[in-house]
Amino acid sequence: MHVTTYSCDQQHRSTTNAGCRSSSLIGLELDDTQEQMLLSITRLHCRLGVEHGRASTTVERRRQIIEEIQSLKTMRDDLIAEWRNNSNS
């Protein structure tokens, strides 16, 4: 099983006021399944962003895309929070 560990390096801390955010992957060890979940969310976010940028996309569809992207961000943050809570248990 592959596990990736994310750490908060000194450069990151010095360039942001918040340091390591709670929705950040820093300090978490993710297995392959967790990484694939995040990649799926990222891929969908990118596809929606491309669709949003097309000249042929209607105003109504652009509104829907914005809502879908916000939903994806919430889903991502909720997953990361759940994984962070599980790693602290």
Its domain, for residue 10, covers 3-88
Which pLDDT score, from 0 to 100, does residue 25 have? 84
Q: What's the predicted TM-score (pTM) here?
A: 0.73
Contact criterion met (CB below 8 Å) for 19 and 13:
yes
Residue 42 is which amino acid? T
Tally of structural domains, the chain: 1
Residue 30 is which amino acid? L
Residue 57: Cβ-neighbour burial (10 angstroms; 0-12, 13-18, 19+):
middle
Average pLDDT, the chain: 82
Give just the sign of the alpha carbon dihedral 28, 32, 37, 38.
Answer: positive
User: What are the φ and ψ backbone dihedral angles of 31, each rounded to 5 degrees?
Assistant: -90, 180
Q: What is the pLDDT of residues 23-64, one digit of tens each?
A: 688 888 889 999 999 999 999 999 999 999 999 999 999 999
Question: What are the residues facing 29 on neighbouring strands?
Answer: 5
